[in-house]
Amino acid sequence: MKNYVISGIIAMSVSLGVVWLTPELIPNHKTLKIEHINSTPVQGAVYTVNDKSEIVPLDFTKVADRVMDAVVHIKSTQTANVTQGMQQYQQLPDPFRRFFHDDFFYQRHQNKGQAKPGKPKMNIGSGSGVIINSEGYIVTNNHVIANADDIEVTLYDNKSYKATVVGTDPSTDLALIQIKEKNLPTLPLVNSDDVKVGEWVVAVGNPFNLNSTVTAGIVSAKSRNINILTDKYAIESFIQTDAAINPGNSGGALVNLQGGLIGINTAIASPTGSYTGYGFAVPSNIVNKVVEDLLKYGTVQRGYLGVTIRGVDSNLAREENLKFNKGVYVDSLVENSAAADAGLEAGDVILEVDGVEVNTAPQLQEMVARKRPGDNIILKVGRGDKRFEAKTQLKNRSGDTKFLANNRIEMFNMLGAEFEDLNKGIAKQLNIDGGVKVKKLYPGKLSKNTAMREGFIITKVDKKKILDTKDLEKALKNKEGGVLFEGIYEDIPGKRYYAFGIE
């Protein structure tokens, strides 16, 4: 019994610092002083090797302190009726539904009787973002802000701001938003090609609305494709990590121990929707390309080879009698594609891109996705038992080397819309001279102050005829006060009018 008492007192002494034990409780009536040392070097318990092959203590405190200020909490709000909201939820890829939308949104729809079908309801999603520019530019996941009517960003110091969408790229599930603030802390992007499997990494985000949560793990794989993105031109070449990532971490930072951004946390592999071992992040090299294009061109300029591909493995090598056990197999080619121009044929194996070995289809996708239409690349190709080099110029989706039109200006960002010139053929069918089609709606004045939906064709602004996006830009330049959009929908007869104000 005395032994249990002594054990309890010793345990208490660890909490109290210094404890004097009374003689009655100690055999032989001796007085015993126990001290608690506050400066125990716990961080020295685990070691790692740095770039100079030096053994150093593994310490996450410095990197956590360095990066938390630059990771924000994002709340996206969407007004929708319950039935419509549930249908959208059910359309999300299973088993990733809970990660691709707010977990609380899922729970609210499970509580029957709280709202009647058809009744407007505020759906609130939660995610994370990373400040990459001191002028308020924040990168996050497209699914965090998709279809939102309002985006609110909360900084590490609890200051909140309304955000506007600069641009999105569903192909990589990335989005760029901006808040009106300056001199913000930022995270530098590093070369994700330098990231090694087995390297320690830290994930920072806001899982389950628990702000500024830090978890640690290692890079467990690279160039991972998990078939989670539903976009027709989806590019998946994720960095895989065992750092704990949960719903709400979407759009957060994956950093190395030097505090450099190596990826944007995007998805988890889980049958339950919560962390069970693996998370996936978009590599920083893809993030850098997407952000640069959105800022410089207003839309992502992406080059395409024009091939359908799959990675070479032992089964494929045996089935197709290949002389190569690794590389990327060309199943077929698109007519008038960059690959066709280079002389590639179905059955070829792509071994290298610009001198870098490629072993998987996602790796090849990633390397090409960093290029723009008109960029030249050199492929090393295997055909039969021979190898040869093929040079080609990448093209866009339409089969030429032109950049997509830049239809994103500051005014359009404020309106919260992406516009495109109306196709001449459609204009002729609708018996109009031209117009501007609302290709995409983001949080902004149009979605907040009007009932406009995507697909609306603007034909007049304040009674002035609009034939293309240049006319629209001129009509809105330096505009203040009330604005009236006149136009039509392809599938609805009659004209429609939308009025709003510009400050």
Q: What is the pLDDT of residue 10?
A: 45
pLDDT in tens, 189-212: 999 999 999 999 999 999 988 888
Q: What is the pLDDT of residue 409?
A: 67
| Contact yes or no for 298/290 (Cβ under 8 A) | no
Q: Which two tokens stand for residue 52?
A: 């100079």
The mean per-residue pLDDT over the stretch 435-439 comes to 94
Q: Is residue 52 part of a domain?
A: no
Q: What is the pLDDT of residue 79?
A: 73
pLDDT in tens, 124-148: 889 999 999 999 999 999 999 988 8
Cα 451 → chain centroid: 28
Residue 465, strand partner residues: 460
Q: What is the pLDDT of residue 230?
A: 85
Nearest to 327 by CA among 341, 340, 307, 311: 311
- What beta strand segments (E) does 225-348 contain? 238-241, 253-255, 261-269, 278-283, 307-311, 328-333
For residues 201 and 231, membership in a common domain is answered with yes
Residue 53: is its pLDDT beyond 60? yes
Decide the pairing of beta strands 137-141 and 457-461.
Answer: unpaired
Q: Is residue 187 part of a domain?
A: no
What letter would DSSP give residue 122? E
Decide the pairing of beta strands 200-205 and 464-465.
Answer: unpaired
Sign of CA dihedral 277, 283, 286, 291: positive
For residues 222 and 285, membership in a common domain is answered with yes
For residues 436 and 361, membership in a common domain is answered with no
Residue 1: is its pLDDT beyond 70? no
Residue 171: is its pLDDT beyond 50? yes
Q: What is the pLDDT of residue 204?
A: 96
pLDDT in tens, 88-101: 444 444 444 444 44
For residue 19, the enclosing domain spans 2-35
The mean per-residue pLDDT over the stretch 214-228 comes to 94
For residues 364 and 286, membership in a common domain is answered with no
Known active-site residue 173: yes
- Half-sphere exposure (CA, 13 Å, Cβ side) for 341? 18
Q: Is residue 323 part of a domain?
A: yes
pLDDT in tens, 15-46: 444 444 444 444 455 554 555 555 544 444 56
- What beta strand segments (E) does 85-178 contain? 120-133, 137-141, 150-154, 160-162, 164-169, 174-178
Sign of CA dihedral 435, 441, 445, 448: positive
Sign of CA dihedral 260, 76, 178, 231: positive
Residue 275: is its pLDDT beyond 70? yes
Residue 475: is its pLDDT beyond 90? yes
Known active-site residue 250: yes
Q: What is the pLDDT of residue 211?
A: 87
DSSP annotation string for 275-292: -SSEEEEEEHHHHHHHHH
For residue 96, give the CATH number of its domain.
Answer: 2.40.10.10
For residues 291 and 315, membership in a common domain is answered with no
For residues 323 and 227, membership in a common domain is answered with no
Number of domains making up the chain: 5
Residue 289: is its pLDDT beyond 60? yes
Residue 321: is its pLDDT beyond 90? yes
pLDDT in tens, 401-431: 888 766 566 788 888 888 999 999 999 999 9
R_g (Cα) of the chain, nearest Å: 28
Catalytic residue among 13, 126, 223, 250: 250
Q: How confident is the model at residue 119 (pLDDT cuts 50, 70, 90)?
A: low
Catalytic residue among 13, 76, 143, 337: 143
For residues 319 and 269, membership in a common domain is answered with no
For residues 461 and 381, membership in a common domain is answered with no
Give the end of a domain, one of 154, 178, 202: 178
Give the end of a domain, one of 393, 428, 457: 393
In degrees to the nearest 10, what's the CA dihedral of 123, 124, 130, 132?
60
For residue 445, give the CATH number of its domain.
Answer: 2.30.42.10
Quote the Cα angle for 322-327-331, to 5°. Answer: 65
| Contact yes or no for 243/254 (Cβ under 8 A) | yes
For residues 54-77, b (16+ Cβ closer than 10 Å) or e, as one string? Answer: eeeeeeeeebbebbbbbbbbbbbe
Known active-site residue 337: no
Say whether 308 sits in a helix, a strand or coil: strand
Q: What is the pLDDT of residue 276?
A: 76
**Percent of the chain residues topping a pLDDT of 70:** 81
Q: What is the pLDDT of residue 233?
A: 87
Catalytic residue among 173, 242, 293, 421: 173
Residue 265: is its pLDDT beyond 50? yes
Q: Is residue 46 part of a domain?
A: no
What pTM, to 2 d.p., does this model score?
0.75
Nearest to 159 by CA among 181, 187, 129, 190: 181
